[in-house]
Structure 1
Amino acid sequence: MRTTHHRKIGTLYMLFGFLFFIRAGVDALLIRSQLALPNNEFWVFQFQKYNEVFTTHGTMMIFFAAMPMLLGLMNVAVPLQIGARDLAFPFLNALGFWLFFTGGMVFNLAFFFDSAPAIGWTGYAPLSTSLFTPDVNSDFYVFGVQISGLGTIFTALNLIITIIRHRAPGMKMTRMPLFTWSTLITSFLILIAFTVLAMGLYLLMFDRMFGTKFFIGPDGDPVFWQHLFWIFGHPEVYILALPAFGLFSDIITTFSKKRIFGYPMMVTSIALIGFLAFMVWVHHMFTVGLGPVVNTFFALATMAIAVPTGIKVFNWLFTMRGGVLHMTTPMLFALGFIPSFVMGGVTGVMLSMSAANFQFHDSHFVVAHFHYVILASTILGIFAGIYYYFPKMTGYKLNESLGKWHFWLFLIGYHVTFFPMHITGLKGMPRRTFTYDIGEGLSKTNFISTVGAFLMGIGILFLFVNLFITLRAKKRVGPDPWNGRTLEWTVASPAPENSFKPMPAVQEMDPFWYAKQRGEKLKTTTDVRAEPLSRDSIIPLVMALLLGVLAFGLMYDWYIIAVLAGIAELACFVVRAFHDERELFYGKEEKAHE
């Protein structure tokens, strides 16, 4: 609760992100159970309850599961990959995590208040305004996502400064691992995209609580919300995918025993994807009525973004070509990702054609495409990262046999679930509908999808068993269990605090690998780098929880509680500022003494 160390913060991100992932997965199984049979009357489902479940499923998966687990892997690996002793601002890193935790708790508490939001993960106006959803349900969405998003922005700032300013001597940007590159580009995307989302949520909050009319009424426009949301929402797809691309790149090079093919082009393609990500948001809005000129521009931009993505696929394939492949569990997830993601990319090009999009829009075809892209890249990438970096988080290595059971069950279940949804979508089944008639020809495909969903759930159970057995056995591994290539495999497992003493001297890409090939130790330097001030503190947790209390005060009109929480929040800022001054003063004194 007091830690500010990057590995521990990363482990906390992984832990709570995984717990939220399980809750969102249970929601998915409830959805599939309702859709397994025509005219089904599953006990928990009325129309409103179904709306609540698909809202919490989507919101939890995007904001409270996938994004935090990727941030956790970044926290664990990126400082170690570049030879940094911690993130640039450890206190801010802890605050970012606890803000995510608080936002997740606020959102999940809605279930216990029987007030779960029912507006979809996109929160479309005017449905999300107080005119159509006057109860507190939608407020849980607004405040939960807002608080968590603030923590994500803080973490992105921290990662950018760390990568730019805290690299080891000789670690030029042209020598950085691709996971670090993808983290840097992703962090810039987060800064822009999450800021736009924050603005949209603030305006929605004012509409709901203070009677403004940004998204409704004669002076408001619900399409304004769509623009703000999708200016965030489509870069968010790449915010989730790019870190996974970087992970897969490092994993494929490690288990192919080859340097990545076309490193400059891989970096360029990551940057191009990040740039083009902000030029395609209207392809979510082709049916809004913006006109053929606008639709044509965004259709072409959407097709263009497939080019740098395709470059990456060929580079991964050429990296493996002629390599010595080791079929470990992380490598299997990387290999399973490539054809799965390509299938999602093909349907993405289909959806990019605005005329065809009029037929596909709001159907199960879109749901299938979305899951083929996000689940193939992000979730498979997260699983690969868990198996790959588990030694650096805990000091233990997950069981390979159980890991492969997890991989095959999950991958097969994934295709069995979502491939039939292309067919149901082409047959006209709309998304966000809770039932269908027996004569519509949708029964078999929906039942097959439900079987696949439960198969994925069984795969997750193998991961649980693997975690339990591994943590109970407590068999320690050394610093380099995978025969790695980059600097993170030079420090002990789990990664200690204040690592890299002395600092490594980097002279090439994959420095650890080539030092091993030459039978040498990694070169070090006598350069002294400033250490981040990583003293433990309870203040980040208190500040985040106070923000949660303030949110509840506003939601339920407990204005006295909200004001008191705000005053206490300001007091925490003052205490932290005074603490900073003391650290700065004593830091100078210690340096002078040295």
Structure 2
Amino acid sequence: MNIAAAPALNHEHDTHAGPPRGLGRWLLTTNHKDIGTLYLLFSLLMFFIGGSFALVIRAELFQPGLQIVNPYFFNQLTTLHALVMIFGAVMPAFVGLANWQIPLMIGAPDMALPRMNNWSFWILPFAFALLLSTLFLPGGGPAGGWTLYPPLALQTGQAFPFVILAIHMMGVSSIMGAINVIATILNLRAPGMTLMRMPLFVWTWLITAFLLIAVMPVLAGTVTMLLTDKFFGTSFFNAAGGGDPVMFQHIFWFFGHPEVYIMILPGFGIISTIIPTFARKPLFGYASMVYATASIAFLSFIVWGHHMFTVGMPLAGELFFMYTTMLIAVPTGVKVFNWISTMWRGSMTFETPM
């Protein structure tokens, strides 16, 4: 029996070279686990950079009169330390965990917008390279504190526009990531995975993502107003031109206090996932945990004035912010109570996550 030989295949013009390898794989990846890993590694790098700034700060404060660094450079380090730790270490760490865990927890094949996921990460290294490069400019980096209060922040030299651009880039990255999280959770849940069946980590990230979309544009607008005050002759916050520096504080802390919960709510979600696992019990009061998380997010928008009790607010304003600040402790207390109740009479195993 004769078997005809199969004709030789000519692969000369075959363009299917397979997925990119090496550096190209990480630059072009749309896999949620790869991007989550990139976020976590970037967060670790920024933690070491911000931590090195903190070590210099603490060494300088070890004893009066040491003068390890000059006072102006000390102020630059305190400013950059805060910006790097908040926007470069804490937030990317939680975004990395979200990229890794959310698709796995809700049964999704990947994030809803994988290419935008890639972009949202790769904006960050350029933003922080720009921010840290200001240390090498002739006038040095920003030295007005991470809150950028005018008029002190407006005395920053050549670094100022670079800092503002870096903050805008961080904000764009955060908003893109938040949109991706919301689209993934609302559209890619597995059949039967209703909203009230989702793990608490997913719930906390859904609410955190809405917070990010709400407040990052506020920060962007505020720092842009600072920029126009410095370079375009406006007087939003310049008292000499009829502006009000205290107005900056109101707008900034309207962003700043929700930002506090942007950084802690995913942490609450992690705790709410770990405790039931190692107590070997379902989470006590699941629905109340969801409502408590949403309540914290809502109340975070009406407590910003507690950062400003010394600016001369009317007594009614001070009382309002005092009571709302006390009120936000209630849903937080609900969470702590539910965690304790979950552990109560559980089959606890004290392993590393616990």
Structure 2 length-normalised TM:
0.90
Q: Does 1:213 align with 2:235?
A: yes
The superposition leaves residues 32-81 of structure 1 with CA deviations (integer Å, 9 ceiling, x where unpaired) of 11111133222xx2110110111111111111110111111111101111
In structure 1, C-alpha distance between the alignment counterparts of 2:288 and 2:153, rounded to whole Å: 43
User: What code does the residue aligned with 1:192 have?
Assistant: A
Q: In the TM superposition, what is the alpha-carbon distance from 1:254 to its structure 2 partner? A: 1.2
Instruction: Give the match for residue 189 of structure 1.
Output: 211
User: What code does the residue aligned with 2:345 have?
Assistant: G
Instruction: Give the match for residue 63 of structure 2.
Output: 37
Instruction: Give the match for residue 246 of structure 2.
Output: 223
Instruction: Give the match for residue 118 of structure 1.
Output: 143
Q: In the TM superposition, what is the alpha-carbon distance from 1:126 to its structure 2 partner? A: 1.4
Answer whether contact 1:93 1:155 (CA < 8 A) is retained. yes
Matches within 5 A, 1:50-449: 50-113=74-137, 115-129=140-154, 132-133=155-156, 135-216=157-238, 217-331=240-354
The superposition leaves residues 403-456 of structure 1 with CA deviations (integer Å, 9 ceiling, x where unpaired) of xxxxxxxxxxxxxxxxxxxxxxxxxxxxxxxxxxxxxxxxxxxxxxxxxxxxxx
State the aligned residue count.
326
Q: Which runs of 4+ in 1 moved over 3 A?
A: none
Answer whether contact 2:278 2:348 (CA < 8 A) is retained. yes
The superposition leaves residues 235-289 of structure 1 with CA deviations (integer Å, 9 ceiling, x where unpaired) of 0000000000001110111111111111011111101000000010011111111
The superposition leaves residues 104-160 of structure 1 with CA deviations (integer Å, 9 ceiling, x where unpaired) of 11111122336221111101111122xx23x11233321111111111011101111
Q: In the TM superposition, what is the alpha-carbon distance from 1:99 to its structure 2 partner? A: 1.7
Answer whether contact 1:119 1:127 (CA < 8 A) is retained. yes
Answer whether contact 1:118 1:137 (CA < 8 A) is retained. no
The superposition leaves residues 430-489 of structure 1 with CA deviations (integer Å, 9 ceiling, x where unpaired) of xxxxxxxxxxxxxxxxxxxxxxxxxxxxxxxxxxxxxxxxxxxxxxxxxxxxxxxxxxxx
- The DSSP-based 3-state class of the residue aligned with 1:290 is coil
In structure 2, C-alpha distance between the alignment counterparts of 1:158 and 1:206, rounded to whole Å: 31
User: What code does the residue aligned with 2:87 have?
Assistant: F
User: What code does the residue aligned with 1:276 have?
Assistant: L
Matches within 5 A, 1:14-33: 14-33=40-59
User: What code does the residue aligned with 1:270 have?
Assistant: T
- Distance change in 2, residues 1:111/1:218 (3 Å): closer
In structure 2, C-alpha distance between the alignment counterparts of 1:79 and 1:212, rounded to whole Å: 46
In structure 2, C-alpha distance between the alignment counterparts of 1:186 and 1:3, rounded to whole Å: 25
Identity of aligned residues (%): 47
- Any gaps of 5 or more consecutive residues in structure 2? 1-26
- The DSSP-based 3-state class of the residue aligned with 2:353 is helix
Answer whether contact 2:303 2:325 (CA < 8 A) is retained. yes
Answer whether contact 1:118 1:138 (CA < 8 A) is retained. no
Answer whether contact 2:145 2:153 (CA < 8 A) is retained. no
Q: In the TM superposition, what is the alpha-carbon distance from 1:7 to its structure 2 partner? A: 1.1
Q: In the TM superposition, what is the alpha-carbon distance from 1:89 to its structure 2 partner? A: 0.9
Identify which of structures 1 and 2 has the higher relative contact order when contacts are C-alpha pairs closer than 8 Å and 6+ apart.
Answer: 1
Quote the RMSD (CA, aligned, Å): 1.2
In structure 1, C-alpha distance between the alignment counterparts of 2:87 and 2:147, rounded to whole Å: 11
Structure 1 length-normalised TM:
0.54
In structure 2, C-alpha distance between the alignment counterparts of 1:63 and 1:203, rounded to whole Å: 21
